[in-house]
Amino acid sequence: MNINRRIFLKQGALSFICLGSGPFWGPGFLRQAAFAADLGSSMSNKILICIFQRGAVDGLSMVVPYGDPFYYQNRQEISVGAPSQAAGDAGALDLDGYFGLHPAMAPLLPLYKQGHLAAIQACGSPNASRSHFDSQDLMESGVDEDKSVQEGWLNRLLGCCPEDAAKKTAFRAVSMTSVVPRSLQGPEDSLAIRDLDTFGLAGDSSTLLAGPTGTTDGFESMYGSAVDTVLHGTARESFDALDLLKQARTAHSQPSNGAVYPQGNFGRNLKQIAQLIKANVGVQVAFAEVDGWDTHANQGGAKGQLATRLGSFAQGLAALHQDLGDRMADVVVVTMSEFGRAVHQNGNRGTDHGHGTCFFALGGSVKGGKVYGDWPTLSPDKLFQDRDLAVTTDFRDVFGEICAKHFGVPMSAMPQLFPHYAVDAQRFRNFYTA
Amino acid sequence: MAGLIQAQDATSDRAEIVHVLNRITFGPRPGDVEKVEQMGLRNYIEQQLHPESIDDSAVEKDVARFELLQMSPQQLSQLFLEDTKRFIKKQKEKQAADAGQTGQGAQAVTSEATPPAGGGTMNLINQASQWRSVAAIGQLEQAKLVRAVDSQRQLQEVLVDFWGNHFNVDVKKGPDRVYKIIDDRDVIRPHIWGSFRDLLEASAKSPAMLFYLDNASNTVQRDMTPLEQEMREMYFQKTLGIADPENTTQPGEPMKTKKQGGINENYAREIMELHTLGVDGGYTQQDVQEVARCFTGWTINRMAGEFIFRPRLHDNGAKVVLGHEIPAGGGIQDGETVLDILCASPATAHHIALEMCQRFVSDNPPPSLVERIAGVFQATNGNLSQVTEAILTSPEFLSPSDYGNKIKSPLEFAVSAVRASDSTLIAQQPPPFDKLVPAMEGGGVMGRGQVADRISHRPRQSLNWHILELGEPLFACTPPTGYKEVSSTWVSPGALIERLNFAMALTGQELSDVVFDPQRILDGIDVDHPEDVLNRCVTTLLQNNITDATRKVLEKTALPAPGESQTVNPSKLIALMIGSPEFQRK
């Protein structure tokens, strides 16, 4: 059978079981309680939330190396000033006496100071193509060069946890996107939902979906019966979980702890990830993306286009942290981008494609309050290909540390997770406790 | 396609015709297969390859109603500039009203009509939302759909979609909402049957592309004129509120000359990666910088809405591009030479051949076919008529193993449903743009997703709106890649749900601009004979490509249970077919 067809039917079946569900199942709360107990007892409750900043974010603007004189030499019109009274709220927010957070990212400063947020500066992939699309695909596949690797690293991570897979739900891996991102593509099931609020079929469609004789006819069975028996079993299980979605939707539609998400898709995506986590539907890996980082022109400094986007980005992360409250003990959020931007500003007060950038890790087990990684400096002789921030932390050492410490993936499984790369615990930055 | 059962009466010829119609049109309408059967498949392909031989006046007349699409580049550019001026004026009024917030106006001017986002400015955007030029997007989208649904020159429309996607421009970016009209009309359409070199040059000089990939501001670094210096001072003092860090001039001294501008690599990279050589086409970072230098000064005359070469902004030094030496002093010729080099490269021939084969043949076309087509590209100097013809007349294109092997894109799915159900698209003149469109993430004036229903040019329940919901907002793909030709990227559980929603909305007569009437495909069928209804629908909508599983579901829905009398609901039946696995394929 053609691979595309297989994926289509498999995922189709997954989604179809939510059709016409409500009336055919017992009281929701009973099922939900049973489900939650089930998950709690037998399944790892560790959760990873991955956020991809698509378009290559300028790491030098997020975590400003104000202590590096070459920064100001290269960024005369688009730099963020050093923290000082004179600079006021236009200056960076000091992190460690050398680096400062972009002022628009102020919502994250308390999390850094409380030790929940860590930055990994000069991080990225050794690949130097500077192509957004290639670099995203490769990073999401967990490789730096081999384009034949089709599955995503998150999908392989799911495959590395068989004991969890035995109890998996349809929500084990969720992406708040309209298509399954490369990171999650592969043999393990995952769900792509653009918007939780509109996911599901509109209007009074139950008879059409269900058909005249109940749930066994209609759309559902048209797809469902096309699937082999193994998948049918999965589908049945998922039916439960997708029905739970309805409860989750209403039970947790408001953010907790006074969290306020920013307007826009990114804020909504994070809010809905939190909703699913709070509803205990078995989320293990969640994925969201945010674009608009390809700042070739007029990116601005302390204010401007990039600042606006960074503000929304930081507000989103801070809101997620607040909303999840105690649950953050089990959660790690990691942010990533395909590469960074050139050190020197270009002819349009913007920046062209570069190399190293900055990742963030946020969570209860993160040893925050620190900027991790070796700082190569922006000295001309230290630049990658004479123009870009060098990469001193390979992205796979960040991902690998999370896999190993958060999910307990044995080091012996790392070659499967990250082909062609020797993940080495010696190189871990140790931003994660234990 | 594996698992499909051809109905007894379906000849292999018919299956072949259906396959071709699926690939070179936006899906067969009732009667199309018979029409092609009558004229012969080869003749049909031949005819589609020569659109000038096909009368399409009815559709062109329909499209001519969209007034913005008829405007000259100058008129369109002015329309946008007027909007921008109005926005700035409103902003200044706002500032005057807001005591304590002075000097913020200059920033809006520099940020090219991207209204600042964020809570504090929402009110401002509220006032400044009279963006007439946004109606341009609505008209573009409507015209595209009219042509996709109704044009007799179907292959032409498929190719315009392909090349428009290859040279993707996102209308969410500032003036590209008006420039894209020029791009679609004067850049893409006239060149899809000509030489690739001409198409590439037209795109390189298209204001839409120049703005989208920033080449309009790609310049040599040069000394500032006194006026530019003055503007720079303004930028620092008024916009940023700080002293110019480079300004070492002491008070009282005459101002020292500063540098201005410099290269922007955005277009230089993407023309090689996406438009010509492909990402593995053998160029280096050095080549990107050199190509950027070659294209310095290729910019937009904002008053005329046209390409202009400004020698003052051009880097006249010598360059080396992909090993070719380009001597100093070449002026505009530098860019032309780059286009020549790129078009002559075998990597370009391969890249274009691969993409076209992915569109027409399969997600993974046979390498031997791609090589052969690349050979045609090279032998004909990129003659796109001949390249297209070579694909459509290749045995691989007709290979039965590829029947139904591609997933329809959202555009293809929605339009093919309209066509297959013989529905009528009532193209509406989009209302004038007068409603709030918040500046969402992404920075454009156009929000996406959750604000779609508030965008008046794209009313909820229009065909257009549904295609956006299905994940393919027209002319609004943000990254320069365009939408992927590999069709499996459209497959996801969420997307499938949206497709079912569309099937139900269409047959439930909920679409605001599409008239669906089940009688149109049931002409001459007695609805008291459910089996006849079923068979007609299977033939018309699914071209008899149906699995046992789907047929069983349809039979249960359509046919009365033993001992019961039940009348068939054709709309329901049609919804099920449009939502079926089979209909998602082409």
CATH number where A347 lies? 3.40.720
pLDDT digits (tens, 9 = 90+) for B10-37: 455 899 999 999 999 999 999 999 999 9
Q: What is the tens place of the pLDDT at every residue in B253-274?
A: 665 666 778 899 999 999 999 9
- Tell me the C-alpha to C-alpha distance, in Å, between residue B459 and each of A197, B132, B466: 20, 16, 10
Over residues B55-60, mean pLDDT: 96
pLDDT of residue B81: 85
Burial class (CB in 10 A: 0-12, 13-18, 19+), A227: buried
**Close Cβ partners of B584 (under 8 Å, ≥ 6 residues apart):** A8, B407, B408, B413, B496, B499
State pLDDT tens for residues B343-355.
999 999 999 999 9
Please tell me the pTM assigned to this model: 0.82
Give the separation between CA A5 and CA B430, rounded to whole angstroms.
38
How far is residue A248's CA from residue B468's CA, in Å, rounded to a whole number? 26
Q: Which pair of tokens denotes residue A400?
A: 């690998």
Give the chain B residue nearest A15 (alpha carbons): B493
Q: What is the mean pLDDT of residues A45-51?
A: 94
Q: What angle do CA B155, B10, B570 make, to 5 degrees?
A: 80
Nearest residue in chain B measured CA to CA from A133: B481
Residues of B (291-330) whose Cβ lies below 8 Å from A: none
CB pairs under 8 A between A and B: 228
Determine which of A284-293, B97-106, B191-200, B287-296 has the lowest per-residue pLDDT on average: B97-106
Secondary structure class of A296 (helix, strand, coil): coil
Q: What is the pLDDT of residue B447?
A: 32
Report if residue A215 sits inside a domain: no
- Please classify residue B424 by burial: count the beta carbons closer than 10 Å to its beta carbon, then call 0-12 exposed, 13-18 middle and 19+ buried: middle
Inter-chain contact B497–A200, Cβ cutoff 8 Å? yes
Q: Is residue A137 part of a domain?
A: yes
pLDDT digits (tens, 9 = 90+) for B32-49: 999 999 999 999 999 999
Q: Cβ separation of B494 and A353 shorter than 8 Å?
A: no
Contact between B417 and B541 (Cβ < 8 Å): no
**Long-range Cβ pairs for the range B225-229 (8 Å, 24+):** B225/B260, B226/B255, B228/B260, B229/B255, B229/B257, B229/B258
**In A236-353, which ranges are E strands?**
285-290, 331-337
Gap between the Cα atoms of B284 and B290, Å rounded? 10
What is residue B317's predicted lDDT score, i.e. its pLDDT? 97
Point out the residue among A133, A217, A350 whose CB comes nearest to the CB of B264: A350
Residue B450 pLDDT more than 60? no
What would the pLDDT profile of B385-434 be if each residue is shown by its tens digit?
999 999 999 999 999 999 988 999 999 999 999 999 999 999 776 554 44
Inspect the interface and report whether the beta carbons of A4 and B405 lie closer than 8 Å.
yes
- Distance separating alpha carbons of residues B580 and B541, to the nearest angstrom: 11
Q: A112 near A365, Cβ under 8 Å?
A: no
Asked if A238 and A230 count as a contact pair (C-beta separation under 8 A), the reply is no
pLDDT band at B558 (very low <50, low <70, confident <90, very high): confident
- pLDDT confidence band for A234 (50 / 70 / 90): very low
The span from the CA of B529 to the CA of B565, in Å, is: 11
Phi, psi of A403 (to 5 degrees): -60, -45
- Which pLDDT does position A247 carry in this prediction? 58
SS3 A53: strand
Return the C-alpha torsion angle B572, B573, B575, B577, nearest 10: 170
- What pLDDT does B456 receive? 43
Tell me the mean pLDDT in the region A64-93: 93
Mean pLDDT of B484-488: 86
Answer yes or no: are the C-beta atoms of A47 and A284 closer than 8 Å: yes
Distance of CA B327 to the CA centre of its chain: 37
Q: CB distance from B449 to chain A under 8 Å? A: yes
**Average pLDDT of the segment spanning B46-75:** 95
Both tokens assigned to B220: 């040599």
**Residue A217: band (very low, low, confident or very high) from pLDDT cuts 50, 70, 90:** low
Instruction: Decide which of B507 and B132 is more confident.
Output: B507
Predicted local confidence at residue B96, as pLDDT: 78
Query: According to the per-residue pLDDT averaged within each range, which of A115-124, B79-88, B398-407, B472-481 is highest?
Result: A115-124
Residues of B in contact with A194 (CB under 8 A): 449, 471, 494
Closest residue by Cα to residue A174 from A240, A246, A272: A272
User: Contact, B334 vs B309, CB < 8 A?
Assistant: no
3-state helix, strand, coil in chain A (%, to 5): 40, 15, 45
pLDDT of B8 over the 60 cut: no
**Residue among B559, B577, B463 nearest B521 (CA):** B577
Q: Is the pLDDT of residue A385 over 50?
A: yes
Residues B424, B413: Cα–Cα separation, whole Å: 16
Query: Residues B47-70: what's their mean pLDDT?
Result: 94
Residue B453 has pLDDT above 60, yes or no: no
Q: From the centroid of its chain, how far is CA A130?
A: 21
- Please give the helix or strand (H or E) that residue B31 lies within, else none: none
User: Which helix (H) or strand (E) segment is B326 a member of?
Assistant: strand B324-326
Chain B residues 257-286 with a CB less than 8 Å from chain A: 261-266, 269, 273, 279, 285
Long-range contacts of B395-400 (CB under 8 A, 24+ apart): B396/B357, B396/B361, B396/B365, B396/B366, B396/B369, B397/B23, B397/B360, B397/B361, B398/B16, B398/B19, B398/B20, B399/B361, B400/B12, B400/B15, B400/B16, B400/B19
Residues of A in contact with B217 (CB under 8 A): 297, 347-348
Checking if the pLDDT of A227 tops 70, the result is no
Q: Would you tell me which residues 389-408 of chain B have a C-beta closer than 8 angstroms to some C-beta of chain A?
A: 405, 407
pLDDT digits (tens, 9 = 90+) for B367-385: 999 999 999 999 999 999 9
Domain assignment present for residue A177? The answer is: yes
Number of domains in chain A: 1
State the residue range of the domain holding A406. 44-206+266-427
Alpha helices by DSSP H, listed for A114-193, are 132-141, 153-159, 162-165
Among B218, B488, B550, beta carbon nearest to A7 = B488
Q: Does residue A407 sit within a domain? A: yes
Which residues, listed in sequence order, are joined to residue A357 by a DSSP beta bridge? A123
Q: Which two tokens stand for residue B582?
A: 């089979």
Tell whether B118 lies on the interface with A, counting CB pairs under 8 A.
yes
Q: Distance between CA B125 and CA B436 in Å, rounded?
A: 8
Q: Can you tell me the mean pLDDT for A351-355?
A: 96
CA distance A352 to chain B (A): 6
- Residue A11 is assigned to a structural domain of this protein: no
Three-state DSSP state, B105: helix
Chain B residues with CB-CB distance to A346 below 8 A = 262-265
